[in-house]
Structure 1
Amino acid sequence: MTADREPLRTFDDALTALAAGFPADPGAAARHHRRLARLLHPDTAPPDRAAQANAAFAELGRAWQHRSHRLIGAPRHTYVLGDILATGDLATLHTAHTAADRRAVVLKIPRRPRDNDLMTHEAAVLTRLDTVGEPRHRAYAPTLVESFRQRSADGTERVINVLEPLTGFLPLTEVAAAHPAGLDPRDAAWMWRRLLVALGWAHRARLVHGAVFPEHVLIHPEAHGLVLVDWCYATAVGTHLPVLVDRHTDRHHDGYPPEVHHRGPATAATDIHLASACVRDLMGDQAPPPLRAFLRGCLLPSPEARPHDAWALLAELDDVLERLYGPRTFRPFTRPAARAG
């Protein structure tokens, strides 16, 4: 029940309402604040309760300032900012919800205004995937709710991307950490297959993801789902990557394929190299010789010699997997246990 339905008439009413917090709706919250300020102001409070009024009025100011900092207005919705969900290479992800109906969302906020262009670029890429990519594969990328500019009190502007939350997903970095000796190839197989579908879908939309690293590949263990995130690094097929992930630029650690270091154009073969390195590192020494040989072909230095069709590669992978393990069946995957501490 909102404050609009519960008129505040007395000082004690205001104290009770202050403890209950503000309504979710921004307009109702502003009206509620004005009523509380009028009743709790030391000049209008009962004379014998001046000390209590001073303390309550100060608390009201702090609460309203905190709420104002957490409210972010955008063209489509007003959002209530929540906790930090994750910290990415360029941006911080916050939990949030719409003020009007408390719909859960994620706000991706760049840490530096100089990266605003990458947030705008990511929004354009996600829109292209949504409008040009095949609809049946839409779940392989985050869903963009809206993208907007926010100006802070000091005049700084940031482009914020609002995304649908990915509940139940975790990055491949967590999977790898939970299996330091290498993941069973039968479990890695479904992740590999879905990653190739995600890439094939993007490539048909004439896009290269350009940053297929474990932290950008999220899986849903129980549902065998996969989402490829951080599309701000993506580019059109045959063009240069707009930016590189700093920690993966050391060529001695096989981060990017050679054509990226040589400033060559990014193609489907670039993504296939990156994805194959993810899978190779995930399986480690657990991979049997046929899969190792398959991966070596995907990791050849020359992009021209490498596979360049993710769909065709998926069919070849299925043949190898069937020879190794028989007909494909659903294999339950256990979510890594949360670490203590």
Structure 2
Amino acid sequence: MTTPAEAIALVSAARVPGDLFGGPTPRRTYRRLARLLHPDLTPGAEAAGAFARLASLWAEHTGHTPTDDLAGTVVGTHHVGRLLHEGATALLYDCAPGALLKIPRGPADNDLMRREAQALRTIEREGDPTLLPYVPRLVDSLRHGSGDARRRANVISRVPDGFVSLAEIARRRPVLDPRDAAWIWRRLLVAIGAAHRAGVVHGAVFGHHVLVHPIDHGLVLVDWSQSVPLGSPLTVLVARHRDAYPPEVLTGAPATETLDIRLATRCVAALMGDRVPGAIGRFVRGSLVAPPRDAWRLLGELDELLDDLYGPRTYRPLNL
């Protein structure tokens, strides 16, 4: 069993958990199938259905429900509030005071939580303290459950009220004035630049992971579960954005600063649509075709361009 098609066929044929997990290494079987069918690696309705079926059979086998409701319980020493968001791989709960509990749907995704915790610890330890507000803070990382059903959970600082994702901005304002997109781009370069100095590549700089405050102009880059140390290959891709990754990343090449810079540029370019002045358009194209390996250098070049086009900076609230 080496392909998603084989995994889909195997899971679809299973009627009881023993059909899949009756061998001597059920956990290893589950992990292998989960990797082949994971929504971030294998897109498509057929694979998604098989992944959900796999999770259900594994839950039955272990006596555990991966999407159980933790609201009102205590995980570690943390009191868990209401469920805020259900993602493809993880659940987000309110976790007072001012934090979120992030827990995978099943143990197969424990490595995503481990990777996020490692990245946030590294950035806090190695990064510039003045730039830490651009990323969430890891409050705690712990285990929940027992045996084969044990899941790793992260408690992460919650972004203050008023922040919205770039995906939501694009939905509400399909085209932004380049001057509005410019401050988002500047802050996004600071966020990834701070991570790169700490030796971390985010690896998934997409609109739903970039949160900004339209009035205060704050920015936080969230979801570091796909991140890797600088110079390591990505191990997880966001399937619906597969076309955004450069070809070398898809073939296992080491992830460098240019990956985050290219993805960040795509985010901002998408916000501006067709309303891009010639000079900015050329700058965007250059940043996509041959992105530098230094976000700070690109930020300096962007500032020079903005000064030439618009003169001294003035505050512009982003009205949504």
Judge same fold: TM > 0.5, yes or no: yes
Query: 1:143-292, aligned counterparts within 5 Å?
Result: 143-151=137-145, 156-167=149-160, 168-180=162-174, 182-249=175-242, 251=243, 255-292=244-281
Corresponding residue for residue 44 of structure 2 = none
SS, match of residue 107 in structure 1? strand
- What's the CA shift for 1:67? 11
Task: Tell me, yes or no, if structure 1 residue 321 matches structure 2 residue 315.
Answer: no
Q: Which residue type is aligned with residue 146 of structure 1?
A: D
Checking the alignment, whether the CA contact within 8 Å between 2:166 and 2:212 is kept in structure 1 is: yes
Cα pair 1:89 1:245 within 8 Å, conserved: no
Superposed CA deviations along residues 182-220 of structure 1, whole A, max 9, x for unmatched, are 111111111000000011101111111100000000101
Q: Distance in 2 between matches of 1:261 and 1:307?
A: 20
The SS at the match of 1:329 is coil
Matched, 1:94 2:96: no
Shift of 1:258: 2.2
Task: Tell me: higher relative CO, structure 1 or 2? Use CA pairs within 8 A at least 6 residues apart.
Answer: 2
Q: In structure 2, which of residues 307, 317, 320 is the aligned counterpart of residue 332 of structure 1?
A: 317
Amino acid at match of 1:317: L
Letter in 2 for 1:143: R
TM-score under structure 2 length normalisation: 0.75
8 Å contact 1:143–1:164 — kept in the other structure? Answer: yes
- For 1:155 and 1:204, the matched residues in 2 are separated by 37
**Preserved contact between residue 92 and residue 109 of structure 1 (Cα < 8 Å):** yes
1-structure distance, mates of 2:131, 2:73: 34
Distance 1:139 1:293 in 2: 31
Could you tell me how far 1:284 is from its partner in structure 2?
Answer: 0.6
Q: Whole-Å Cα distance in 1 between the matches of residues 124 and 89 of structure 2?
A: 23
CA distance in 2, matches of 1:69, 1:215: 24
User: CA shift at 1:70, angstroms?
Assistant: 2.2
After superposition, the C-alpha distances for 1:297-324 in whole angstroms (9 at most, x for unaligned) are 1111xxxx42111001001001111111
- Name the residue aligned to 2:135: 141
> How many Å apart are 1:265 and its aligned residue?
1.2
Structure with larger Rg: 1
Q: What do the CA deviations read for 1:225-255 (whole angstroms, capped 9, x no partner)?
A: 0000111111111110121112111x3xxx2
- Decide whether the 8 Å contact of 2:167 with 2:207 is kept in 1: yes
Query: In the TM superposition, what is the alpha-carbon distance from 1:69 to its structure 2 partner?
Result: 6.4
Are the structure 2 counterparts of residues 94 and 78 from structure 1 closer, same or farther at C-alpha, using a change threshold of 3 Å?
closer
Provide the residue aligned with 1:105 in structure 2.
Answer: 99
- How far apart are the structure 2 equivalents of 1:190 and 1:260? 28
Deviates more, 1:210-219 or 1:324-333: 324-333
Superposed CA deviations along residues 99-118 of structure 1, whole A, max 9, x for unmatched, are xxxx2321111112100011
- Is the CA contact (8 Å cut-off) linking 2:115 and 2:228 kept in structure 1? no
CA contact (8 A) 2:71 2:82 kept: no
Contact 1:104 1:164 in 2 (8 A): yes
Amino acid at match of 1:84: L
Cα separation, 2, equivalents of 1:332 and 1:126? 30
> Runs of 4+ in structure 1 displaced over 4 angstroms?
66-69
**What is the root-mean-square deviation of aligned Cα atoms in Å?**
1.9
Counterpart among 292, 300, 320 of residue 307 in structure 1 = 292
| Structure 1: tracts of 5 or more residues without a match | 1-65, 98-102, 337-341
Aligned residues between the structures: 252
Q: What's the secondary structure of 1:230's corresponding residue? A: coil
2:170–2:271: 8 Å Cα contact kept in structure 1? yes
* Residue identity (%): 50
